[in-house]
A and B are shown apart, each in its own frame.
Chain A
């Protein structure tokens, strides 16, 4: 049922022999004990560059006679972060009127997926904090996936981490925001933000940027 990668490799590694010669030449310039490691790094670099080249060279060979114009593919990632995610960061930064760098410093991109760990939950009471944490979870989900939703369990866990989790009243705090901040609040289900909720989420984030 599945194809293998080999059907794609027609134009890949075309200059493999030449590149290998160059790699070996470089490796020979290294101290003896580092040669093996150097060879592995350089070869991996070549393989990666061939992979990232992907379809582009092949697609350049497309004949226009069919009427199907096939453009070259856009790069899928930018520095390990998918382009779509980068674009959402850029758009949000623009909406908030802040630098994209300022926005990105709130997130830890070394984690998979990138995470957001404010030191303290914004808000004056546990109820406020719980709702604000939900807004912040939703904004992270939006940046990662494009969906303005907050996972019920993720919200709970963030509230535990930020010391605003009140097991007996957690659901009640969130239900108080239903209709205004949240479109839906059902125990155990994903919380969907309303238009007002999205605006508020962005403002909460902007407040955090201003306070850092």
Chain B
């Protein structure tokens, strides 16, 4: 996980304070028991941790990381003291001079990337409504959104919604769902004709084989939403299907945000947990 810009700024603050402290000592020898050495050792260790995480993320130029690593390692090795304050200060200077532009700003750019921002906003919006099994799908969806894999994001968000519907049907027992299917079968016209031929369900495994569209039709009876809500849900399923089939859709970020908003409104707020 990439260290946050807030963590890096806090680190930068400590580094600056330490450099000032050492600058006041000019070229005096820093004795082995000086408190500043303990702080410097801790700072160097923290940097090595940050550096490894930044290197994996691949957002900082390797020579910059290598140079900072070199300076920080030298500080860590010299933690026993006995060197002049200038020795330590020069190394801190070298890190400080590149830290904001070459380390903090690239991390800021990553954090402020619109897709990552959207993923965080979606997480904030979804969090109050999701159960742990749904969160598993939603988190994968948000990872996809962060990485600009928007079609995959839509498919996985729909999976979270289907998880809610399946769990709700299972929690309520299969009888009400079967009754809803029967009621739909008795009605004429589209979309109820689609439900015809769908036999009763007695187990989760059977439920998983029921087409999502049939579940949405039965949902009008089961979860008491109206035709407009059904219509929107059917459009969401269509969006999901388009996202899953080659050449059918090229959603943008706003489409995904709208998709998630509608799912919250039409599924997570309505279908009981």
Residues of B within 8 A of A36 (CB): none
A2 to B187, CA, bound (A): 25
CB neighbors of A among B229-246 (8 A): 230-232, 234-235, 237-242, 244-245
Tell me the smallest distance from the CB of B179 to a CB of chain A, in Å: 15
Check A151 against B238 for contact (C-beta < 8 Å): no
- B: residues with CB less than 8 A from A are 4-6, 9, 12-13, 100, 104-105, 108-109, 111-112, 114, 116-118, 120-121, 124-125, 155, 158-159, 162, 166, 187-192, 194, 208, 211-213, 220, 226-228, 230-232, 234-235, 237-242, 244-245, 247-249, 252-255, 257-258, 261
Which stretch, A52-60, A97-105, A122-130, touches the partner chain B? A52-60
CB distance from A29 to the nearest CB of B (A): 25
Q: CA separation between A8 and B238, bound complex, in Å?
A: 8
A85–B108 Cα distance when bound, in Å, is 27
Q: Give the residue among B162, B231, B232 with the most A Cβ atoms within 10 A.
A: B231
A5/B245 in contact, CB under 8 A: yes
- Assess whether B211 is in contact with A3, with CB atoms less than 8 Å apart: yes
A-B contact count (CB 8 A): 159
Question: Can you list 15 A-B pairs with a CB-CB distance of less than 8 A?
Answer: A3-B241, A5-B244, A59-B190, A70-B227, A72-B231, A77-B255, A80-B252, A81-B254, A84-B261, A145-B125, A157-B109, A160-B108, A167-B104, A168-B13, A187-B6
For A81, give the chain B residue with the smallest CB separation: B254
A1 to chain B, nearest CB (A): 5
B residues in contact with A82, CB < 8 Å: 254-255, 258
For the complex of A and B, list the 9 residue pairs with the smallest distance between their C-beta atoms, beginning with the closest.
Answer: A63-B189, A157-B112, A70-B227, A153-B111, A5-B241, A66-B187, A63-B188, A3-B211, A61-B190
By a CB distance below 8 angstroms, the chain B residues around A51 are: 242, 248-249
- A153 adjacent to B112 (CB under 8 Å): yes
Closest chain-B Cβ to A133's Cβ sits at a distance in Å of 12
Contact A141/B254 with A2-B244, A66-B192 known, Cβ cut-off 8 Å: no
